[in-house]
Amino acid sequence: MHSVRAHLTNIFLVAISITLIIFGGYGYYKLSRELNANFTQQKQNTLTRLTISLPLPMWDFNTELTTNLVESEMLSPEVSAIQVFDLKSNLFASASRDKKGRIVSVVDLDKVEGIPIEADLYHQLADHSAEPALPQNKIGSVVIYFTRHRIDELLRSNALHSIFEILVIDALLIFTLRFSLRLVFTPLGQLRDALMELAEHGGEDVEELPETQKNEIGEVIQCFNQTQRKFKHVIEHLRQAEEATRAEAVKADLAYVALKAAQETMLQTEKLASLGGMVAGVAHEINTPVGITLTSASVLKEATDHLNKAMADGAMKKSEIVAYTTTAGECARLIMKNAERASHLINSFKQVASDQTSEQRREYELSAYIDEVMSSLRPTLRLNQVQVNVNCPTPIAIDGFPGAMAQVLTNLTMNAITHAFTERGQGVINITANQVGETVNLTFADNGVGIPQANIGKIFDLFFTTQRATGGTGLGLNIVHNILYKQFGGSISVSSEAGKGSCFFMHFPRVIA
């Protein structure tokens, strides 16, 4: 953990260092610019002087004077070597520096440092004409080697000097800050220790700090002592309040347990309510095929009695036998057809009802099971003139809880009938299922009125309903949500647009964990 003292020291150190670096860099830039300008001017001046002074002694073949002129220009530390050539490029005079810095007349180009600059030498005519020298007056050339060694040394020295200044100022700053901050942080440390002791012992055994300083720190210590006195008075009130809170917490826990039990009872009641509605619908649906079966059996019995009487009287006719066989065949056909229809309804209801009440785990084929659930709901669907389309291209074997799946499908269907379809004869429900890897995707879509956008995020909430005045409990979709997330380990989402229906997207593993 970094202390405030270290942070303040680092902040001031960085700020001062950056400021010094900026000013040092600016001074370095100015010095570099000035030295480069002087270097450029010196190159131009040296070249001008040599081009003016060398032609005359070269014209007179005065080698000694030429050498003296060349060596005089070597006094500048920026000139490392000079070579003078005649018109035929023969060396006329030269000068350079050896390792000890002495001026010598021999030039070793391999050891010469610097940038060469060459200029032609022209001899001026005796009449001192103002016109420039003609090309035929060229008598040779001069090559001057300029070096930046001294400039680089000056810049390097300036940089080292700036770095040294930064280090010295930073050291002084650190020393000064440490001494200054000690005046502040020493009493703050005492206050911190007192606060830690106050936190550990609850204020009962903590002694007050001495109020000796007459400055801002002393005022803080006075406030601390006053706070400590009030804190001791508050502790007793807190203890009494804590006892009262414990008692209230016990009551709250008991109320919460009772609320959870009531909630579970309401959820179970909602589950059984859909099963009860299914019972009434199936009973009404079975009534028709059973009635037709009884009527057909009654007709068959009447025809049989009539035939038996004819046989007993000995007045049997062929036409009566033909009529009897026709009647018997039609009655048998009606009896078989309606008995099978009733048997299918009863079996579907028994399977779905058994699944919903037992909640046992077993394997089942999803598409066939959806058909069974829809068959058990067919009376309600027919009463409300709702058409259900099931699309499951390939068989999907589910290892899970069919009762929970029936509850999901039943609640979604009843929710659509209750909320989505305002006019009979126009309701269509499309159920689509497919498998991707070990994940099952189940889509439940209707073409109803849709869900308002303000309610999209609340439809799965407990007890949320828009039909409370007509008996809605708001538990149907909450049960669906809990089954998908908690029991199946999957997810459910909804997409809806006003006037264009709703679509529920469900995803869950094929094998329920």
pLDDT of residue 506: 96
Share of the chain above pLDDT 90, in %: 12
pLDDT of residue 134: 46
Please state, in angstroms and rounded to a whole number, the distance separating the CA atoms of residues 299 and 385.
33
pLDDT of residue 334: 72
Residue 505 has pLDDT above 90, yes or no: yes
Model pLDDT for residues 405-439, shown as the tens digit of each residue: 988 998 899 888 888 887 656 789 999 999 999 99
3-state secondary structure of 441: strand
Give the highest mean pLDDT range of 79-83, 108-112, 170-174. 79-83
With beta carbons less than 8 A apart as the criterion, state whether 86 and 78 touch.
no
pLDDT of residue 348: 56
Matching residue, tokens 């058994």? 354
pLDDT of residue 495: 92
Please state, in angstroms and rounded to a whole number, the distance separating the CA atoms of residues 277 and 204.
68
Which of the pair, 215 or 407, is modelled with greater confidence? 407
Please state, in angstroms and rounded to a whole number, the distance separating the CA atoms of residues 477 and 444.
13
3-state secondary structure of 408: helix
Please state, in angstroms and rounded to a whole number, the distance separating the CA atoms of residues 83 and 496.
94
- Tokens encoding 77: 């530390």
Please state, in angstroms and rounded to a whole number, the distance separating the CA atoms of residues 82 and 46.
11
Mean pLDDT of the chain: 78
DSSP per-residue letters across 97-138: E-TTS-EES---TTT--SEEEEEEEEPPPTT--SSPPPGGGE
Model pLDDT for residues 238-284, shown as the tens digit of each residue: 778 888 888 888 887 887 777 667 666 665 655 555 555 555 555 65
Residue 479 has pLDDT above 70, yes or no: yes
Phi and psi at residue 103, in whole multiples of 5°?
Answer: -85, 125
Entry pTM: 0.39
With beta carbons less than 8 A apart as the criterion, state whether 450 and 498 touch.
yes
Give the highest mean pLDDT range of 72-76, 110-114, 337-341, 377-381. 72-76
Give the highest mean pLDDT range of 231-240, 360-369, 473-482. 360-369
Banded model confidence at residue 133, pLDDT cuts 50, 70, 90: very low
Model pLDDT for residues 322-349, shown as the tens digit of each residue: 777 888 877 777 787 667 666 665 665 5
Between 42-51, 181-190, 210-219, the lowest mean confidence (pLDDT) is in 210-219
Banded model confidence at residue 489, pLDDT cuts 50, 70, 90: very high
Amino acid at 185: F
pLDDT of residue 439: 95
Please state, in angstroms and rounded to a whole number, the distance separating the CA atoms of residues 164 and 99.
31
Phi and psi at residue 432, in whole multiples of 5°?
Answer: -125, 135
Residue 366 has pLDDT above 90, yes or no: yes
Under 8 Å CB-to-CB from 358, ≥6 apart: which residues?
403
pLDDT of residue 511: 93
Please state, in angstroms and rounded to a whole number, the distance separating the CA atoms of residues 347 and 355.
12
pLDDT of residue 249: 83
Phi and psi at residue 108, in whole multiples of 5°?
Answer: -100, 100
- Average pLDDT of the residues in 352-362: 61
- Tokens encoding 25: 């860099």
Q: Are strands 386-391 and 427-436 parallel, antiparallel or unpaired?
A: parallel
Cα of 115 vs its chain's centroid, Å: 60
- Average pLDDT of the residues in 367-382: 86
Banded model confidence at residue 211, pLDDT cuts 50, 70, 90: low
Under 8 Å CB-to-CB from 116, ≥6 apart: which residues?
143, 144, 145
Give the highest mean pLDDT range of 136-145, 206-215, 248-257, 479-488. 479-488
pLDDT of residue 502: 92
Residue 168 has pLDDT above 90, yes or no: no
Banded model confidence at residue 494, pLDDT cuts 50, 70, 90: very high
Residue 444 has pLDDT above 50, yes or no: yes
Euclidean distance between the first and the last CA atom of the chain, given in angstroms as a whole number:
46
- Average pLDDT of the residues in 15-29: 85
Residue 1 has pLDDT above 70, yes or no: no
Phi and psi at residue 176, in whole multiples of 5°?
Answer: -65, -40
